Structure 1
Amino acid sequence: MRRALFALSSASLPLASFAGGVPTAVIDEVLVSGRLDRLQGTPVSASQGVVSDEQLSLRPVLRSGELLEVVPGLIVTQHSGDGKANQFFLRGFNLDHGTDLATTVDGVPVNMPTHGHGQGYTDINFVIPELVQAIEYRKGTYYAETGNFSAAGAVNMRYRHEMDAPMLVLEGGEDNYMRGVAAAAPEVGGGTLLVGVEYAHIDGPWVLEEDFDKRNALLRYSRAGRDGRFSITAQAYEGDWRSTDQVPLRAVRSGEIDRFGFIDPTDGGSTHRYSLSADWSGSLGPGTASGQLYALDYDLELISNFSYFTDPDHGDQFEQLDDRRIYGGNWEWRRPFDWHDRGQELAVGVQIRHDDIDKVGLYRTIARERFATVREDAVKQTSYAVYSRVDTRWSDYLRTTAGLRADHFDFDVDANLAANSGSASDSLLSPKLAVVLGPWRKTEFFMNVGRGFHSNDARGTTIQVDPADGVTPAQRVDPLVKALGTDVGLRTAVVPNMQVSISLWRLNLESELLFIGDAGTTEASRESERRGIELAAIWNPVPWLIVDADLAWSRARFSDADPAGDRIPGAVENVASLGVAIDHPSGWFGGARFRHFGAAPLIEDNSVRSEPTTLVNVEAGYRFADRYKISAAVYNVFDSNDRDITYFYESQLAGESEPVSDIHFHPVEPRTVRVTLGVTF
């Protein structure tokens, strides 16, 4: 019997922790319910939730990274080749490639600190979408379990442990797009062996064919018992591509290049990510424990040219290199107990991560060939965290969650310039508090306050001189940057078959991380304050239909006085989305999504702004013979000429005598059609 379609989006399921996860039984309980007629779960804010695989499978997504747009208010775009990490926008942040959005897959961190291209770099191309069972999200700084990079929010993608039947998925489309996925989960040795492989080739609509080859593999053995579960997971991802980076508006307007054209034909990159992790959970004394160990091998070589010929003799192309190994683990113990006849739960946890960065470098290149080293470092960065939280049910209408997190970071930098070598360390205590009132008439109210943080690049904590000339003094940055967030919200199911959440939030950050266009890096900047309001609704009028809508407005400003202005470049001010998902018993299925993100200031005085972007994607398909399905998707249905991302900075084209301040943009892809055939065995 097919399960009902309903799955919560902006409405929330209970979240155990990003290390321990959400029990599958909890997700299934909601899926089989079919309709929502009461509040589900015990979240601590109106800004958290879980989205199941049923809803994920009915979202037309052009790139795998767009799966994360199930998080209300989150926008995922691209400004370069598809092999490069996506660009993220959330809560008034231009998050670049992941800064201030902590991302994990089955609890294993994805964000890369002290990265060659940008702090917190988050590449999820290694994820195979068909094998994702759920996406959990938490926005804000109110959760003891989430630490570095989580000031705007945290997302965890969870792979499934088993499958009903082996499957094969084949896709094809315009611009030489082809993709295949094969997966199976046979029973082996009393457990389940999940095997999945993915291959994709993408050229895209670009004048310079992208030639992106993506190769993924997943192998997971898991065994569930009466008291818990054990699993061991190996993943491998390799990718290589050519890039069409953002292009200058003046070159397009003059006809020098097409809007899908390029300036430097030798930009591109290659990367790999190999990982091994082990997870376990079970009873421990009067409580339950969950733990995880992981190890990763990661490499990126990225060739970019954002300013073209400000150096007329050599050009401005550069290479960014990152080569590292990562080792870490998470452990959490939870115990329910009574105190003065009030139900409570205590949770304590430990998180450790060590990044052994053999080489993180920046080089000057011509047509991918190095001719100068700007800087080259070996870095060792280790973080330790302990946390505790207590959940208390004071009455039928009042519960609280109080948490405390302690983080310590050690940095050791061995630079090619001895003056920039050295060590640094920093520690931070982060208290958290959530107060939840209700439910009354199927409505709950939330009040949250908490401290979060992001770490700065280790190289900035020991720097003394500018590596470009080895002489000019450089200012060091604080290792850890505090963020203070507050949130007031509600969620209600007073309307039958509908759940609505509203959140008013505020976030103060001690130092922004801003993208520097001509260097392709992020730099610590000024203090900031953000505030906003988010509205999310999901409606399930019949078991085979979901309608969801999200609206978000934000105001982002630098807090200090500066003649340059107080606007934060790239801070998108409004986001809206509307989606329909259909899975009819007759066999017809599909989805449609309207997605809009508004204008943003591009420089501090707000004199130059980006234009809003609006896209519509649709997909429709049919299942037959209980084994086969075929579907067609149309992306950018109305063939919009909008932009995925816009920057404003100086560049110099061949033939120009000096740099010119100009808008640089990466266009959305034109109307694109793809066809998918799926078979189960």
Structure 2
Amino acid sequence: MKNTMQQRLVASFTLASLFCSGAAWAGGVPVVELPAMQVTGEVTLEDSASSSTEGYVTADQLAERPISRAGELLEFVPGLIVTQHSGEGKANQYFLRGFNLDHGTDFYSEVDGLPVNMRTHGHGQGYADINFMIPELIGSLEYRKGPYYADVGDFGAAGSARLRYVDELPAPMARLTIGEYGYRSALVAASPKLAGGTLLLGGEATRYDGAYDLKQDAEIYKGIARYNRGTDEDGYTIGFQAYAIDYFAPDQIPLRAVQSGQIDQLGFIDPTDGGDVRRFSLNAELRKPAALGHWKAAAYALSYKMQLYSDFTYYFTDPNDTDALPDDQFEQYDDRKVFGASLLRYWQLSTRIPIDIETGLQSRYDRISPVGLYLTQRRERTETVRQDKVKEASLGWYLSSRQQWTNWYRTELGARADFYDFDVDSDLAANSGKADDHLVTPKAAMIFGPFERTEFYLNYGEGFHSNDARGTTIRLDPTDPTHQTPADRVTPLVRVRGAEMGLTSAMIPHTKLTATLWQLKSDSELVYIGDAGNSEAGPPSTRRGVELSAYYEPLPWLAIDADYAYSHGRLDVPAEVRAADGDRIPNSIEDVISVGVTVPETQGWSAGLRLRRLGEAALIEDNSARSKPTTVVNAQGSYRFLKRYLVSLAILNVFDSDDNDITYYYESRLPGEPAEGVADYHFHPVEPRAVRLTIGASL
């Protein structure tokens, strides 16, 4: 018989007491953690990397890259592209390793110790909205690709990223940015000393109308108060973050409406799409030295509310509708409280074969009341498709160890066990219920080198993503008004198996090269369709690809980097299904290219230029409809003078590309069209060229 979640939590507290007693044994011997491999900067090889596809980005490097929105910081992950198919308040669309990650389903992200991905979210499973960040105050980004890391659980199959705020600013700062299309933003921040520690205070207010025909009228407010005292091995951090946005959204539009002249390239169909988000969080972290190592305990609480209004099919539901405004709008609502805690213990053992060991507990509890899908017209609810109260709890335990066998060979072994409980209280009694599941996932790595400043990596690991809790208890399709149509339940936890081999080399002077071959096999492409209120079960899938990265520093003041990623993704379906319907994975991007030129600050001057290209993809399984490539170039130049003042000019979409941020293919209906609708391309165009000027001062 499976243990209940209560029993698991008791076990977790028992283990926690062992951890803490271990901390008291030795009186604290501080240990230096092995650093992650840096992506840019001095061309060296670190002896701590577990794979060829992990990296660490500093605050200076983050500041040198031109971005148009906070989410684009994640494009420091080689091969990852961030786009948007709606307004400023919706989570970005992410593409990595052949995954259309929707809004984050298989890419785990974390900001200052708080997980960003939302389970059983109103819009999409794993929804990762990082728009609440203040990019100028982010101190580091650590990324890792593949399911090879024991401390990463849910949503980490394709990769993960951890961002952390700075502990201290060189001086108080104020910045004002103005730009085309009504862009105005003001930022103030300081980090005064307080009671032996540092208090980081920051606030940002932004107003943006946008370049589209529909005025976004976006109002964005962000704030942070973060107190840090001590060191990475002996200290503590307490943080509070706040975020609010209200906006209208120029959503994706049908190609035929543009071609017929009904709307132009930057037009819209429903002027009332958009929404609002409110997000408040509190987190704390305690770090202490212990016998042969250290331990760390963390906890967080999050309050989150989202209302999202969308209309993707326009006049499909009522073919007799001749109103000027379409009636297919729906609202996705999410109101939740999230609580979590973790405990980590690390040992570095000086045995005959040097070994380090890390083990940890991670718990999370989401109380969502409610999460709902409603039919709306002009943001007024007309019908409830479904409304649920959900309690979702999880407990994860992991263990990893590194063994240094010789000066040129080391191994890493790890495993994690995850336990989930789902409790759904639905407005349709048949869809209420409870479910639970557990999963054990192994991890392993072999690292050879350095040989001529070159290391080789072999990795294997298993990961997973959880499915929407509502899909685990569903019995009847909520979109059927008669409540007679059966609906298939989904597997609560979907396993993903990954393997890769890669190399990293710095044998060429001033150059770092990385090459990786990888494969990911998913047990199912199962997803919860938030736009429809039910679950959709898909077949297993296999993705494989190659990634190449190069970093070249010909001069102390000049760096050039380039990344290329190719992926081949297919559904694992029988031959007869493949022949009839195809086996392509919709929106599985086939190649990604990114090239950048960076001039780090030299005598006050700094600059960055970046090209990114999102390749083609099949939009439906039979490959009869495909998206076109998207290429965008951004540039930024800054000058700091009198040590206190900064002037920066950013040009976004330098060559005024009219490519598309995202493209879909499905049926929709416009006035006068057949009742069954028309299959068509639906796209969201890249924003046209925009210039933004920033003036700043250190106070």
- Shorter-chain TM-score range: over 0.9
Amino acid of the residue matched to residue 598 of structure 2? Answer: A
In the alignment, which residue of structure 2 is the partner of 1:432? Answer: 443
Conserved in 1, the CA contact under 8 Å of 2:545 and 2:566? yes
CA–CA distance in 1 between the matches of 2:32 and 2:670? 55
Establish whether residue 253 from structure 1 lines up as the match of residue 264 from structure 2.
Answer: no
In the alignment, which residue of structure 2 is the partner of 1:17? Answer: none
In the alignment, which residue of structure 1 is the partner of 2:567? Answer: 554
Amino acid of the residue matched to residue 382 of structure 1? Answer: A
- 3-state SS of the aligned residue for 2:617? coil
Offset at residue 290 of structure 1 (A): 1.2
In the alignment, which residue of structure 2 is the partner of 1:168? Answer: 174
Change (3 A) 1:103 1:446: same
CA deviations over 1:621-646 (Å, ceiling 9, x no partner): 21111111111111111111100000
CA–CA distance in 2 between the matches of 1:225 and 1:62? 33
Conserved in 1, the CA contact under 8 Å of 2:471 and 2:534? no
Amino acid of the residue matched to residue 165 of structure 2? Answer: Y
Amino acid of the residue matched to residue 252 of structure 1? Answer: V
In the alignment, which residue of structure 2 is the partner of 1:679? Answer: 697
Equivalent in 657, 681, 684 of residue 640 of structure 1: 657
Offset at residue 520 of structure 1 (A): 8.7
Conserved in 1, the CA contact under 8 Å of 2:479 and 2:533? no
Conserved in 2, the CA contact under 8 Å of 1:96 and 1:515? no
Conserved in 1, the CA contact under 8 Å of 2:524 and 2:540? yes
CA deviations over 1:512-561 (Å, ceiling 9, x no partner): 14686964987442210000000111122333222111000000000112
Which range moves more in the overlay, 329-338 or 289-298?
Answer: 329-338
Offset at residue 109 of structure 1 (A): 0.4
Conserved in 2, the CA contact under 8 Å of 1:69 and 1:76? yes
CA deviations over 1:640-680 (Å, ceiling 9, x no partner): 11000000000001222320000000000111111111111
CA deviations over 1:376-427 (Å, ceiling 9, x no partner): 0000000100000110001111100000100000000000000000000000
Establish whether residue 382 from structure 1 lines up as the match of residue 393 from structure 2.
Answer: yes
- 3-state SS of the aligned residue for 1:273? strand
Which range moves more in the overlay, 534-543 or 561-570?
Answer: 534-543
CA–CA distance in 1 between the matches of 2:548 and 2:451? 20
Offset at residue 182 of structure 1 (A): 0.6
CA–CA distance in 1 between the matches of 2:359 and 2:530? 42
Aligned counterparts, 1:135-150, within 5 A: 135-150=141-156
Aligned counterparts, 1:193-232, within 5 A: 193-224=199-230, 228-232=234-238
Aligned counterparts, 1:503-514, within 5 A: 503-513=516-526
Conserved in 1, the CA contact under 8 Å of 2:186 and 2:206? yes
Change (3 A) 1:225 1:93: closer
CA–CA distance in 2 between the matches of 1:677 and 1:76? 27
CA–CA distance in 2 between the matches of 1:254 and 1:226? 60
Aligned-residue CA RMSD (Å): 1.8
Amino acid of the residue matched to residue 117 of structure 1? Answer: H
Conserved in 2, the CA contact under 8 Å of 1:580 and 1:592? yes
In the alignment, which residue of structure 1 is the partner of 2:75? Answer: 69
Change (3 A) 1:364 1:636: same
Change (3 A) 1:536 1:28: closer
Change (3 A) 1:98 1:383: same
Conserved in 1, the CA contact under 8 Å of 2:471 and 2:528? no
In the alignment, which residue of structure 2 is the partner of 1:532? Answer: 545
Conserved in 1, the CA contact under 8 Å of 2:277 and 2:306? yes
In the alignment, which residue of structure 2 is the partner of 1:321? Answer: 333
CA–CA distance in 1 between the matches of 2:307 and 2:338? 18
CA–CA distance in 2 between the matches of 1:406 and 1:584? 46
Aligned counterparts, 1:356-371, within 5 A: 356-371=367-382
User: What TM-score do the two structures reach when normalised by structure 2?
Assistant: 0.91
Establish whether residue 420 from structure 1 lines up as the match of residue 431 from structure 2.
Answer: yes
In the alignment, which residue of structure 2 is the partner of 1:16? Answer: none
Amino acid of the residue matched to residue 393 of structure 1? Answer: Q
In the alignment, which residue of structure 2 is the partner of 1:543? Answer: 556
In the alignment, which residue of structure 2 is the partner of 1:98? Answer: 104
CA–CA distance in 2 between the matches of 1:24 and 1:657? 68
Amino acid of the residue matched to residue 675 of structure 1? Answer: L
In the alignment, which residue of structure 1 is the partner of 2:494? Answer: 481
Change (3 A) 1:579 1:259: same
- Identity of matched residues, %: 50
Aligned length: 656
Change (3 A) 1:321 1:30: closer
User: What TM-score do the two structures reach when normalised by structure 1?
Assistant: 0.94
Offset at residue 294 of structure 1 (A): 0.2
Change (3 A) 1:520 1:61: farther
In the alignment, which residue of structure 2 is the partner of 1:604? Answer: 621
Which range moves more in the overlay, 457-466 or 623-632?
Answer: 623-632
Aligned counterparts, 1:4-15, within 5 A: none
Change (3 A) 1:40 1:448: same
Equivalent in 411, 416, 428 of residue 400 of structure 1: 411
- 3-state SS of the aligned residue for 2:627? coil
CA–CA distance in 2 between the matches of 1:454 and 1:47? 20
CA deviations over 1:126-164 (Å, ceiling 9, x no partner): 100011011110100100000000110011111111111
Conserved in 2, the CA contact under 8 Å of 1:306 and 1:518? no
Conserved in 2, the CA contact under 8 Å of 1:119 and 1:522? no
CA–CA distance in 1 between the matches of 2:316 and 2:515? 48
CA–CA distance in 2 between the matches of 1:253 and 1:610? 17
Offset at residue 333 of structure 1 (A): 0.5
Change (3 A) 1:297 1:518: closer
CA deviations over 1:334-390 (Å, ceiling 9, x no partner): 101144x11000111000000000100000111100010000000000010000011
Conserved in 1, the CA contact under 8 Å of 2:197 and 2:227? yes
Equivalent in 467, 486, 507 of residue 456 of structure 1: 467
Conserved in 1, the CA contact under 8 Å of 2:395 and 2:419? yes
Conserved in 1, the CA contact under 8 Å of 2:373 and 2:533? no
Establish whether residue 411 from structure 1 lines up as the match of residue 422 from structure 2.
Answer: yes
Establish whether residue 304 from structure 1 lines up as the match of residue 310 from structure 2.
Answer: yes
5+ residue gaps, structure 2: 1-30
In the alignment, which residue of structure 2 is the partner of 1:35? Answer: 42
- 3-state SS of the aligned residue for 1:661? strand
Establish whether residue 78 from structure 1 lines up as the match of residue 84 from structure 2.
Answer: yes
In the alignment, which residue of structure 2 is the partner of 1:372? Answer: 383
Conserved in 2, the CA contact under 8 Å of 1:35 and 1:542? no
Establish whether residue 502 from structure 1 lines up as the match of residue 522 from structure 2.
Answer: no
In the alignment, which residue of structure 1 is the partner of 2:643? Answer: 626
In the alignment, which residue of structure 2 is the partner of 1:288? Answer: 294
CA–CA distance in 1 between the matches of 2:301 and 2:453? 44
Offset at residue 280 of structure 1 (A): 1.5
In the alignment, which residue of structure 1 is the partner of 2:342? Answer: 330
Offset at residue 301 of structure 1 (A): 0.3
In the alignment, which residue of structure 2 is the partner of 1:664? Answer: 682
Aligned counterparts, 1:545-584, within 5 A: 545-561=558-574, 562=577, 563-584=580-601
Which range moves more in the overlay, 577-586 or 484-493?
Answer: 577-586
CA deviations over 1:53-107 (Å, ceiling 9, x no partner): 1111010101111111000000000000111000000000100001100011122
In the alignment, which residue of structure 2 is the partner of 1:122? Answer: 128
Conserved in 2, the CA contact under 8 Å of 1:601 and 1:608? yes
CA–CA distance in 2 between the matches of 1:223 and 1:375? 47
CA–CA distance in 1 between the matches of 2:347 and 2:32? 20
Equivalent in 195, 200, 208 of residue 189 of structure 1: 195
Change (3 A) 1:235 1:52: same
Equivalent in 57, 60, 64 of residue 66 of structure 2: 60
Moved over 6 A (4+): 23-31
Which range moves more in the overlay, 277-286 or 311-320?
Answer: 311-320
- 3-state SS of the aligned residue for 2:258? helix
5+ residue gaps, structure 1: 1-22
Conserved in 2, the CA contact under 8 Å of 1:308 and 1:651? yes
Establish whether residue 243 from structure 1 lines up as the match of residue 257 from structure 2.
Answer: no
